[in-house]
Amino acid sequence: MSLIDDLEALETQAKERIAEASTQEKLEAARVALLGRKGELTGLMRMMGKLDQAERPVVGKRANEVRAAVEGLLESRIAEMKQEATRARLAAEAVDVTLPGARPAIGHQHLIHQIIEEAEDIFTGIGYTVESGPQVETTYYNFTALNAPMDHPSRSARDTFYVVDNNPGGVSHPEAHAHGESDVILRTQTSGVQVHVMERQKPPIYMICPGSVYRPDTADACHLPQFNQIEGLVVDEGITFGDLKGTLDYFVKQMFGEERKTRYRPHFFPFTEPSCEVDVSCHICGGKGCPFCKHSGWIEILGCGMVDPNVLVNCGIDPERYSGFAFGIGAERVAALRYDLPDLRTLMTGDMRFLNQF
Ligand code: DAH
């Protein structure tokens, strides 16, 4: 076989090797094997010395052509590999800018605050203002001004969280000073806000006050140590029990639907006379009686009554001229009733699977 044939064979073989090289390392190995100092082409060229003088230029020319061809093949394979790598990278890093972005999870109001806002809408719609008052309160505002006798059982530490418990010489609340009382508590009801409002505002008063209240109860399905009330107070000339009933019936129908009935049951509260509790007809059985309403057909949602004249006097309002009514609605009760909640604790534990339903 002549050197020319060997060169032809080398070129053919080089084409295959270069085309087959799948990585840069394999391509480099092929280059060294073909063109390197100990490579095949170099080997063939070394043998040129043994050729006839006449043959040399022909074979030399061919050898140079083969070298140039192999170098060309290597170069274009390298370029091809770079392109492939770029294409692979672009594919891997591709971003579809037309895809909608990942939306941040936006929170929403807690069910109890939705209920409170709804109550605010209902009452502001009939001319009431929305007031607020302190959650850390003196016994004067929470009990005494509200006509609760000093020995009223709800004043005991079993029913009230004391912050400052009758500490002589350790009076810490300026308002307590003013009223000669030193006890500071977490309010057990929003009714004290009635007193704050009557102290700072003359009648006519049409107000509600939603807010947290606290009682030392162990949390169970029907009790929470912290819950929410929506207090209401109306003081004006000529206010009667008929106004109370019309207003609360209106509230119940707005909150629960036109078909709901109300029942006014006599009750006792120190700050109202007469007083009653209001029941709403059970939504499960429609009033016929079922386990949810303990077979009574009714569910209690609020306390109310005509403001006791003593409370008006305590707040500097003339009971001969003015009369009024008050009420306190349990916000969690309303939520439980509207959504058939089996356990009030679910409102406090922050389980999003529960809360996201509302
Ligand atoms: N404060 C009462 C309670 O916590 C609820 C209540 C009853 C509020 C009668 C009132 C009222 O304003 O007139 O049980």
> Does 106 fall in a domain?
no
Q: Mutate which of 269, 302, 327 to test ligand 1's pocket (most atoms within 8 Å of Cβ)?
A: 269
What pLDDT is recorded for position 40? 86
Q: Mutate which of 227, 271, 273 to test ligand 1's pocket (most atoms within 8 Å of Cβ)?
A: 271
Instruction: Report the nearest-CA residue for atom 5 of ligand 1.
Output: 328
Do 247 and 316 have their domain in common? yes
User: What distance, in Å, lies between the first and last C-alpha atoms of the chain?
Assistant: 91
Q: With a 6 A CB cut-off, is 189 part of the ligand 1 pocket?
A: yes
What pLDDT is recorded for position 172? 44
142 is in which domain, residue-wise?
111-355
Q: Give tens-digit pLDDT for 125-142.
A: 999 999 999 999 999 999
Q: Any idea what the CATH number is for the domain that residue 136 is in?
A: 3.30.930.10
Do 141 and 269 have their domain in common? yes
Counting from 1 in the atom list of ligand 1, the atom nearest the Cα of 328 is: 8
Listed residue (142, 133, 148, 146) closest to 164, CA to CA: 142
Do 164 and 135 have their domain in common? yes
Q: With a 6 A CB cut-off, is 327 part of the ligand 1 pocket?
A: yes
Do 57 and 148 have their domain in common? no
Do 87 and 129 have their domain in common? no
Do 255 and 145 have their domain in common? yes
Q: Max alpha carbon distance in the chain (Å)?
A: 142
The β-bridge partners of 208 are 130, 232
Counting from 1 in the atom list of ligand 1, the atom nearest the Cα of 303 is: 7
Do 275 and 339 have their domain in common? yes
Distance CA 114, CA 111 (A): 5
Cα-to-centroid distance, 123 and ligand 1 (Å) = 17
What CA–CA distances, in Å, run from 300 to 184, 266, 296, 303, 329?
Answer: 30, 12, 11, 9, 10
What pLDDT is recorded for position 169? 40
Cα-to-centroid distance, 269 and ligand 1 (Å) = 7
> Does 102 fall in a domain?
no
Of 59, 92, 125, the last residue of a domain is 92
Do 161 and 201 have their domain in common? yes
> Does 158 fall in a domain?
yes
> Does 97 fall in a domain?
no
The number of distinct structural domains making up the chain is 2
Q: With a 6 A CB cut-off, is 247 part of the ligand 1 pocket?
A: no
Q: With a 6 A CB cut-off, is 211 part of the ligand 1 pocket?
A: no
Do 227 and 87 have their domain in common? no
Coil, strand, or helix at residue 184? Answer: strand
Q: Which residues of the chain have pLDDT under 70?
A: 1, 166-182
Cα-to-centroid distance, 282 and ligand 1 (Å) = 22
Do 56 and 202 have their domain in common? no
Contact 142, 189 (CB under 8 A): yes
Q: With a 6 A CB cut-off, is 248 part of the ligand 1 pocket?
A: no
Distance CA 20, CA 5 (A): 23
Of 92, 125, 144, the last residue of a domain is 92
Do 150 and 219 have their domain in common? yes
What pLDDT is recorded for position 43? 86
pTM for this predicted structure: 0.71
Cα-to-centroid distance, 74 and ligand 1 (Å) = 93
> Does 98 fall in a domain?
no
Do 206 and 253 have their domain in common? yes
Instruction: Report the nearest-CA residue for atom 14 of ligand 1.
Output: 303
Cα-to-centroid distance, 235 and ligand 1 (Å) = 16
Q: With a 6 A CB cut-off, is 148 part of the ligand 1 pocket?
A: no
Q: Give tens-digit pLDDT for 190-239.
A: 999 999 999 999 999 999 999 999 999 999 888 899 999 999 999 999 99
> Does 104 fall in a domain?
no
> Does 100 fall in a domain?
no
What pLDDT is recorded for position 283? 78
Of 48, 63, 92, the last residue of a domain is 92
What pLDDT is recorded for position 175? 54
Q: Mutate which of 327, 329, 334 to test ligand 1's pocket (most atoms within 8 Å of Cβ)?
A: 327
- Name the CA dihedral angle for 258, 264, 269, 272, rounded to a multiple of 10 degrees: 80
Cα-to-centroid distance, 301 and ligand 1 (Å) = 11
